[in-house]
Amino acid sequence: DTEVTQTPKHLVMGMTNKKSLKCEQHMGHRAMYWYKQKAKKPPELMFVYSYEKLSINESVPSRFSPECPNSSLLNLHLHALQPEDSALYLCASSQGTGGETQYFGPGTRLLVL
Amino acid sequence: AQSVAQPEDQVNVAEGNPLTVKCTYSVSGNPYLFWYVQYPNRGLQFLLKYITGDNLVKGSYGFEAEFNKSQTSFHLKKPSALVSDSALYFCAVRDLGRGGGADGLTFGKGTHLIIQP
C-alpha cells in the first residue's frame, strides 16, 4: 500500500481566515514533504520533514506554517494568505532519506479569495 | 543545482504506436531520476526511477526509461501507446543533500502526452 491521504480535497478561504491542510500516511515512512503546484506548472518544494524534524524550508513565507505532530501526520497551517497562494498543495512521503521514491497524495485544491 | 529539462510541451502519438517523452538532466554527482504522471486534478503517480544499475529501467503500466550518461538523458518510452496514457508527465531529479536529511525533488516543466484513437 502506497497511499497518502490529504484532507480536505478542496478549500476556499478568505485572506483573513486561518485554515489547516492535513496529510496522513501509514506506510512507516520517515520523510514527509509539502509541494505547491500552480496551474500548468510543475510542483515546487516547500518543506521537508525528516524523522519529524523540519529539515528544509524553501524560503516559504511565514503565512505557511508546517507541523509534524507524529511520524504519520503532516499539517500545513494557513493564515492571512494572498490570492496568489491559490494552488494545488501536494503532500508526499518517502521511506527514508536516501533518495527513495516519494509517494504523493491527491492534493488539496486551495482557492484564496 | 540539480535540474531537468523537458524540451517538449506536448507530444502527440497515435494509439498503438511507440511513444517517447524526452528528459535531459544536469546534476552534480550521480543522478537520482524519476518519472511521474499526473491526470487532471490529481496528484502525481510514480512510474519509475533510476538510481544505479541497468540503464534500462522498467516501471508501471508498461513504461520504461533509458538512462544515457553520455547524452545526459532519461527518456520515457512505451512500445504501444494507449488512449488512457494521455496525461501530464514530469521528469524529476533528487535535490542534493541540502537538508541533512531527506531531499526534495526538482521537476521539469512537464510534457502533455496526447494519444489519439
Cα distance between the two ends of chain A: 37
Taking the C-alpha atoms of residue B24 and residue B38, their distance in angstroms, rounded to an integer, is 19
Question: Cβ–Cβ of B100/A55 closer than 8 Å?
Answer: yes
- For B37, name the nearest residue in chain A, comparing CA atoms only: A104
> What count of other Cβ atoms lies within 10 Å of the Cβ of residue A8?
13
The pLDDT of residue B95 is 85
Give the burial class of A72: count Cβ atoms within 10 A of its Cβ; 0-12 exposed, 13-18 middle, 19 or more buried: middle
Smallest CA–CA separation between A96 and chain B, in Å? 7
Smallest CA–CA separation between B89 and chain A, in Å? 10
Q: Which residues pair with A17 in a beta bridge?
A: none
Give the burial class of B70: count Cβ atoms within 10 A of its Cβ; 0-12 exposed, 13-18 middle, 19 or more buried: exposed
B68 neighbors B55 (Cβ within 8 angstroms): yes
Q: Chain A residues with CB-CB distance to B under 8 A?
A: 2, 4, 6, 30-31, 33, 35, 41-45, 48-51, 53, 55-56, 58, 88, 90, 92, 94, 96-97, 99, 101-107, 109
Q: Which of B3, B33, B10 is nearest to B88 (CA)?
A: B10
pLDDT of B20 above 90: yes
Q: Which residues pair with A94 in a beta bridge?
A: A31
Give B55's pLDDT tier (boundaries 50, 70, 90).
very high
Residues in chain B with CB shorter than 8 Å from the CB of A53 are 101
Span B79-103, mean pLDDT?
Answer: 88
Give B29's pLDDT tier (boundaries 50, 70, 90).
confident
Residues in chain B with CB shorter than 8 Å from the CB of A43 are 44, 90, 105, 107
The pLDDT of residue B97 is 67
Contacts of A69 (CB under 8 A, 6+ apart): A75
Give B101's pLDDT tier (boundaries 50, 70, 90).
low
